[in-house]
Amino acid sequence: MDDLRTRQLGQLSAPGRRPALLVVDVQRSFGDPEFLGAYGLDEKAAALVEAAVTTIVRLVDDARERNVPVVWIELASDPANPWRASSWFRSGDLDAPFGPDEPCVIGTPGAEWYRLTPAAGEQRVAKRGYSGFLGTDLEKCLRAREIDWVAVAGLTTDCCVAATATDAFQLGWPVLVPSDAVAAYDTDLQENALAKLALNVAVLSTAWELAAMWTEVGR
């Protein structure tokens, strides 16, 4: 471990520091193989997504065992309030209606959590766009809990994970991204997204290393 990374992680592990785990978009539209056909994943990418979800399940258990707050960030696509810029970007039509492949439409199976479920009392944040902070009370929630740093896990690395991690960083929270608890739909894209996060926003870790840090914080 280089000297800078040692200092960075040492700061977060100092007595009294309060971490939180942000779980982003681990919903059926983004994680369940039954919903991913339109994204064209190859075998390696499909395995990457499934492995990341498995790791996130374990990471959530680790956080709960160590009394680290888990905050659930979920896409909630609302037909009554469509994201017109996204419609334009994907179809060229600002006013395109929701199609059958629209992800995470409120009240549909695609919006359900995939392989894990928020526990009673854990904070849930519904968003309309990429970042968990945009138009939500996530910042208020973290500040009310006096959170000092965050770990961001979920789907997908290049999109909603990156947007949420970037906003957390810009709002003043040090960010860790466990690289085995995030996934993109292409292995090259995964590698590039992690490199970009490491360059500008986050310290990369593993889920095992993160859980060990939580143990230290909890002592």
- From residue 49, alpha-carbon distances to 34, 52, 155, 213 in Å are 13, 5, 8, 24
CA 84, distance to chain mean position in Å, is 23
Rounded-to-integer distance, Cα 81 and Cα 77, Å: 8
pTM comes to 0.96
Confirm or reject CATH 3.40.50.620 for domain 19-218, answering yes or no: no
Domains of the chain, residue spans: 19-218
Percent helix, strand and coil across the chain, each rounded to 5? 45, 15, 35
**Worst-scoring range by mean pLDDT, 42-56, 101-115, 203-217?**
203-217
**Tens-place pLDDT, residues 69-127:** 999 999 999 999 999 999 999 899 999 888 888 999 999 999 999 999 999 999 999 99
Rounded-to-integer distance, Cα 16 and Cα 35, Å: 42
**Tens-place pLDDT, residues 103-118:** 999 999 999 999 999 9
